[in-house]
Structure formats: C-alpha cells, structure tokens
Structure 1
Amino acid sequence: MPRTVHCQYENRQTEGLDFVPWPGELGKRVFAGIGKQAWAAWLAHQTMLINENRLSPMNPEHRKFLEAEMQKFLFGGDAEKPAGYVPPPAS
C-alpha cells in the first residue's frame, strides 16, 4: 500500500514520495508534506529554471537559488519564472 500524505502544494490527500528527495530539513519537510504529482510539477519547473537561466546544479550558488525556489514553489510563495516566460495557451 502506498504511503499517503496531505500535500501542502495540492491541499489534498495524495500518494507520498518513496524517499527523501533533498538533503537536510527541507528534504524531510518535502517528504512529509508533498505528494508525487506536486514533486513532478516542481521537477518540471526546476528543469525550466535550469535551462532558461543556464544554471548548474553543481554550482553552490545556483543550488542555493534552486533550493529557495523549491521552497517557494512547493510551500506557497511566488516562485520565479524565467525572464520572458509565456505560459502555454489553455487548451
């Protein structure tokens, strides 16, 4: 039986992650209160940030930026969009 959590991003009960996805306290917080769908949404957003801003996850400053954006994205804040971002048209 999959583990369930009350996802703070989606504000509903959903399937939880299988492992702690990030080191430290933030990773524990994500594991305890973020579901798989919300984590997948963050990964897509993170990929966009990395590509558009030419970030390297190996660079400590870039990693710190991504961590701050993850916290804003998942736990309610104003997550940054890349400069010139235009959302896809609604279908």
Structure 2
Amino acid sequence: MTHKVHCAKLNKEAEGLMHPPLPGAMGQKIYEQISSEAWQMWLNHQTMLINEYRLSMIDPKARTFLMQEMEKFLFGSGSEKPAGFIPKE
C-alpha cells in the first residue's frame, strides 16, 4: 500500500514515506507532507553537511544544527551548501 502526499518540497503529488522518519511532531509533519524522493534528497544533503562540517552526531549542537537545516531544506527556503563546497564528480 503506497501512501501519497502533496510534497511540500517538490510541490507535487508523490509517494510518501512508509512511516515517520523521526519521533514526535516533526516526524509526523515530514510523514504527512514530504515525499520519499524529497526525503532521499535531504539524506544526501545531510550527509554532505556532516562530512563538510565534520559534525559529530553525539554533539547536541550538531544535531540541533542538522534539525534546523532539515526544516529549512524540506519546508523553507532551502539549506545552503557550505561555503566553498565543490561536489565530487
């Protein structure tokens, strides 16, 4: 059974996630408003942020930063790439 959403990120009807990706209200909001395609885009962007900024996921400040970037990426104006970021070919 597929779960369809009107994706807030991609502004189109698309297949949603199978379950909320996070606990709490934010996870529910993502489940209801973000497609699996947009979520995968976020996971790729998040990985780039973690690597470029050398974030440690045990650092509460790093987790807070990622949550803020996730909200901007999925629901806001978008998350910026780090200054000087050059994607690998």
When normalised by structure 2's length, the TM-score is: 0.91
Equivalent residue number for residue 84 of structure 2? 84
Task: Please say which of residues 40-49 and 22-31 is displaced more in the overlay.
Answer: 22-31
Equivalent residue number for residue 74 of structure 1? 74
Equivalent residue number for residue 12 of structure 1? 12
| Cα separation, 2, equivalents of 1:28 and 1:66 | 17
Q: What stretches of structure 2 of length at least 5 have no aligned partner?
A: none
- Per-residue Cα deviation, 1:31-65 (whole angstroms, up to 9, x for no partner): 11000000000000000000000001221110000
Secondary structure in 2 aligned to 1:81? coil
* Deviation at residue 82 of structure 1 after TM alignment: 1.4
Moved over 6 A (4+): none
| Cα separation, 1, equivalents of 2:44 and 2:82 | 13
Task: Please say which of residues 57-66 and 37-46 is displaced more in the overlay.
Answer: 57-66
| Cα separation, 2, equivalents of 1:24 and 1:3 | 19
User: What is the CA RMSD across the aligned residues, in angstroms?
Assistant: 1.5
* Deviation at residue 87 of structure 1 after TM alignment: 5.5
| Cα separation, 2, equivalents of 1:27 and 1:15 | 16
- Give the 5 Å matches for 1:1-91: 1-86=1-86
When normalised by structure 1's length, the TM-score is: 0.89
Q: What stretches of structure 1 of length at least 5 have no aligned partner?
A: none
